[in-house]
Structure 1
Amino acid sequence: MAKQQHVALYVTGSIAAYKALALTRLFVKDGAAVRVVMTKAAEAFVTPLSFQILSKNAVVTEMFAGAQVKAVDHIELADWTDLAVVAPATADIIAKLANGIADDMASLTLLATTAPKLVVPAMNQHMLENAATKRNLDTLKQDGITVMTPASGFLAEGYSGRGRMPEPEAIMQTVKNLKQHTTPLTGKKVVVTAGGTRERIDPVRFITNDSSGKMGYAIAEEMQDKGADVTLISAPTKLEAPTGVNLVPVLTTEDLAEAVTKFFKQADILVMAAAVADFKPLNSADQKIKKSADNDQMTLQLTKTVDILKQVAKIKQPNQITVGFAAETQNLLDNAQQKLVGKQLDLLIANDVSKPGVGFNGDTNQVTILQPGQAPIKTKLADKHIIAKQVVDQISQLVQKEG
């Protein structure tokens, strides 16, 4: 960040307001001049004096309360601003921004600000998932405002969910990306698959795997944060899709293959993180298969499902990038290398799911990243969001390398 960039930090009424103190300090440490605007609700959580001490500037809390008779307070501050950051951003301020409402100093000044804006939502998961909030966030993005994806974790209400304000360090990284205006992934059309496909045995039973979809969803979120236009093709999971991605639900491997073929044609990048069923029942019963008193065994005939990546390789264009995943329990590198070459992939993410803390259902992962002609890159065991960032960074480098 350039010295003395003017950052206007808007703090609204969320329990996460305390994190804005650390964010203020990081901005100042990075050489920015910071002026803080607080809503009345924010003052219930943190005092203006705390921000004043950290920013070395008076904190603005009321409309038309300035002593400068030659300046209109909100216009003066709006014109002064090089970057406006709303953190934490409540559902209330998001709704005001999306609909042009200006009834307090924060919303009034933001409406007059022409500088780039970064909105960092922080609220209860149910509020975040409300249809009105989703519409408002989509409106902000359409208006050119950058919206960070909220973090998941323990909420103030006493349970885990999505809606936490990201850590100040993550916000600063997003700010640095904004300063660069673009990343290698900005504007790229990216298709990410996630979850485990299901193959029906009968109306009440199916074949599937242990995939939770967490890895694919984390990659979709990271891609979106890097400015990509993300389509997330998801087999059944218990996860909420990141705000703003195009979610395409599928059930079977055949459904997934059809969706991938459709969206890949217009895509720049495909990330096949879904755990695809390799086999399906040769015949699926129309009615529930009942247990027989005469026979304690049942033979289930299976047949191979469609090989999606092999299909993709046939239609892939030179300017498209394909990334595959390989979950193995033995001979990790040998099996992964065969898949990398056989499926004509640009990148392969391999993991040994027999190891503790790795792979399906958990919150952590450890992967080995393979590229043609390059030495494998082995990550440490870490949260899947951290692994997603490392994977997306490798994809970004690949995009940059190929021009």
Structure 2
Amino acid sequence: MSQTQHPRILLGVSGSIAAYKAAELIRRLRERGAEVQVVMTAHAQAFITPLSLQAVAGQPVRCELFDRAAEAGMGHIELARWADHLLIAPASANLIARLAHGMADDLLTTLVLASAAPLAIAPAMNHQMWSHPAVQENINRLLARGVHLLGPESGDQACGESGAGRLLEPQRIVEQLLGSEHRPLAGRRVLVTAGPTREALDPVRFLGNRSSGKMGYAVAQALTAAGAQVMVVSGPTALTPPAVERVIPVETALEMHAAVMEHIDHCDIFVAAAAVADYRPQAPSPEKIKKHHHEFQLRMVRNPDILAEVAARHPAPFTLGFAAETEALEAHAREKLQAKGLDMIAANWVGGAQGGFDRDENALLLLWRGGQRELPLMSKRQAAREIVHTITERYAAFTARQNFGSPPG
């Protein structure tokens, strides 16, 4: 297999109830920095839709051998040449039989014959099917040709029976395919801010916002899964702290600013996911403010701009900011990207149906100089994995510019 930092994996999905695990497998592969393109058999589409896998892969899913648009330029040959590795998971008994006999009656089996890349299969089927002599004969044929067998495992099956034939868990497939040690951000130090800030009016009241911290915590967890050493500076939340190296709790924007500046010097990447108050009361009352008048005037002063200050450092870490907007999403996000000198920004709508504050889902627009990527509405955990995958790609370009002085891109 290619030893490049971003291995290219062509994932084939065949007809098995375990096909639903393909989405998790794609996420796990991409966490490891892999580029993934998906090919589905006709039977696989009965268990999971191409659109579902397209959303997590970030690439169109191919299903038909005779796709007029793709085949105008012999697209299946181009796809076969693109791959560093072919992985079929799940591999059904039917597909294994067709592979063993060298058939090329759909796009996936044709690609296997047209590619010189190594092939790995992860079988998934009923335990009686797996033990059948015909299946075992087909497996032995494939092994004799150098096909790599991943699993299957033994355990409970969808039919209610138990035995060998379960699809190997996605994480174990990835480890056996790519090795258990390589993670794309291994050794990188990352500082993440998360949650809201609270600005005191008096000992009882504060000015705050609707941020729950869910997006920031999910990104921190996904960065850890990618191998990074992660520290989180967190405003007040009701969430369980993420499993990272250290969590520093703060309350106000000034406290968050102080914590970030204390620890930023040795960080490679800074992710500003916190919703930091732009202003704070100039003079919080030392006593509870009583209700005396029909009107109450409050004088506010600007808080430090933590993100802009970090991005302006020399040298600066790779900086990712977030922009929560109620109108002109892309225009405002691009303005913030440029004005603060950021490397990347993740923008999302708030106050509508597209996720955002204090919700479990989010839809995001990722922007950087010279490129962008849209993430449709998905869970924040899934969105975090997609963000970290893009960070990994952009950070590689960032370090190349730092090392060789190449122009921004």
TM class, shorter-length: 0.5 to 0.7
Matching of residue 336 in structure 1 with residue 333 in structure 2: yes
Q: Does 2:338 correspond to 1:324?
A: no
Residues in 2 aligned to 1:229 and 1:173: alpha-carbon distance in whole angstroms: 24
Contact 1:186–1:228 (CA under 8 A) maintained in structure 2: yes
Match in the other structure for 1:259? 259
Which residue in the other structure is 2:70 paired with?
Answer: none
Check if 1:205 corresponds to 2:191.
Answer: no
Quote the residue 2:393 is aligned against: 397
1:315 maps to which of 313, 316, 319: 313
What is the deviation of 1:313?
Answer: 2.5
Q: In the alignment, which residue of structure 2 is the partner of 1:115?
A: none
Q: 1:54 to 1:205 in 2, by over 3 A?
A: closer
| TM norm structure 2 | 0.58
Shift of 1:31: 1.7
* Paired residues of 1:214 and 1:363 also in contact (CA < 8 A): yes
The SS at the match of 1:265 is helix
In structure 2, do the counterparts of structure 1 residues 359 and 296 end up closer, same or farther at CA, with 3 Å as the change threshold?
same
Please say if residues 231 and 244 of structure 2, whose CA atoms lie closer than 8 Å, have aligned partners that are also in contact. Answer: no
Cα distance in 1 for partners of 2:335, 2:90 equals 50
1:288 is paired with a residue whose SS is coil
Name the SS of the counterpart of 2:247 in structure 1.
strand
Kindly tell me: are residues 28 and 256 of structure 1, through their superposed partners in 2, closer, same or farther at Cα, counting changes over 3 Å? same
Match of 1:215 in 2: 215
User: Structure 1's 177 and 285: CA in aligned 2 closer, same or farther, altered over 3 A?
Assistant: farther
Shift of 1:53: 5.4
Q: What is the CA–CA distance in structure 2 between the aligned matches of 1:317 and 1:176, rounded to whole Å?
A: 38
Deviation at 1:209, TM superposition (A): 0.2
Match of 1:384 among 380, 402, 409: 380
- Candidates 348, 352, 372, aligned match of 1:351: 348
Q: In structure 2, do the counterparts of structure 1 residues 324 and 173 end up closer, same or farther at CA, with 3 Å as the change threshold?
A: farther
Q: Assess, with a 3 A threshold, how the Cα gap between structure 1 residues 33 and 310 changes in structure 2: closer, same or farther.
A: closer
1:58-99 superposed Cα distances (whole Å, 9 cap, x missing partner): xxxxxxxxxxxxxxxxxxxxxxxxxxx9xxxxxxxxxxxxxx
Structure 1 position 32 matched with structure 2 position 29: no
**1:51 maps to 2:163:** yes
Q: Per the alignment, do residues 53 and 377 of structure 1 end up closer, same or farther by CA in structure 2, a change over 3 Å counting?
A: closer
Kindly report structure 1 stretches of 4+ aligned residues shifted beyond 4 Å.
22-30, 33-36
Cα gap change, 1:33/1:328 in structure 2, threshold over 3 Å: closer, same or farther? Answer: closer
Q: Which moves more between the two structures, 241-250 or 346-355? A: 241-250
Which residue in the other structure is 1:298 paired with? 296
Measure the CA separation in 2 of the matches of 1:364 and 1:379: 11
Report how far residue 302 of structure 1 moved: 1.1
Q: Aligned letter for 1:364?
A: E
One-letter code aligned to 1:400: A
1:361 alignment counterpart: 358
Query: What code does the residue aligned with 2:386 have?
Result: Q
Which residue is equivalent to 1:278? 278
Q: Which amino acid aligns with 1:379?
A: L
Seen in structure 2, the aligned counterparts of structure 1 residues 287 and 355 have a Cα distance that, compared at 3 Å, is same
Q: 2:279, 2:298 → 1: CA distance?
A: 11
Give the residue type in structure 2 aligned to 1:380: P
Once the two structures are superposed, what CA deviation does each residue of 1:346-366 show, in whole Å capped at 9, x if it has no partner? 000111213214210011111
Q: After superposition, what is the alpha-carbon deviation per residue over 1:90-121, rounded to whole angstroms, capped at 9, x for unaligned?
A: xxxxxxxxxxxxxxxxxxxxxxxxxxxxxxxx
Q: Name the counterpart of 1:138.
A: none
Paired residues of 1:202 and 1:285 also in contact (CA < 8 A): yes
Query: What stretches of structure 1 of length at least 5 have no aligned partner?
Result: 3-18, 56-84, 86-167
Q: What residue identity is the alignment partner of 1:267?
A: C
Report the counterpart of residue 238 of structure 1 in structure 2.
238
Task: Indicate conservation of the 8 Å contact 2:355/2:361, yes or no.
Answer: yes
The alpha-carbon deviation at position 296 of structure 1 amounts to 1.7
Q: Residue type matched to 1:338 in 2?
A: E
**Amino acid aligned to 1:333:** E
Is 1:184 aligned to residue 296 of structure 2?
Answer: no
The answer (yes or no) to whether the contact 2:189–2:228 under 8 Å persists in 1 is: yes
Query: CA–CA distance in 1 between the matches of 2:90 and 2:264?
Result: 44
Distance 2:176 2:236 in 1: 35
| SS class of match (1:381) | strand
RMSD: 3.1
Q: Structure 1 residues 369, 52: CA separation in 2 closer, same or farther (over 3 Å shift)?
A: closer
Distance 1:53 1:273, change over 3 A: closer
Distance 1:197 1:54 in 2: 47
| Letter aligned with residue 345 of structure 1 | L
Give the letter for the 1:229 counterpart.
Q
Contact 1:185 1:399 in 2 (8 A): no
What's 2:28 paired with? none
1:257-311 CA-to-partner distances (Å, cap 9, x unmatched) read 111112211100000000000111011111111111xx22211111111111221
CA distance in structure 1 between the aligned counterparts of 2:368 and 2:213, rounded to whole angstroms: 24
CA distance in 2, matches of 1:316, 1:176: 41
Rounded Cα–Cα distance in structure 1 between residues aligned with 2:386 and 2:164: 37
Give the secondary-structure state (helix, strand or coil) at the position aligned to 2:385: helix
Separation of aligned partners in 2, 1:321 and 1:173: 31
Deviation of 1:243 after TM superposition, in Å, equals: 2.2
Amino acid at match of 1:354: G
Cα contact 2:152–2:166 (8 A) shared by 1: no
Distance 1:53 1:189, change over 3 A: closer
Counterpart amino acid of 1:315? R
Change (3 A) 1:242 1:32: same
Number of residue equivalences: 263
What's the CA shift for 1:373? 2.1
Displacement after TM superposition at 1:241 (Å): 1.6
Percent identity over paired residues: 35
- Partner Cα separation in structure 1 for residue 192 and residue 367 of structure 2: 18
Shift of 1:177: 7.8
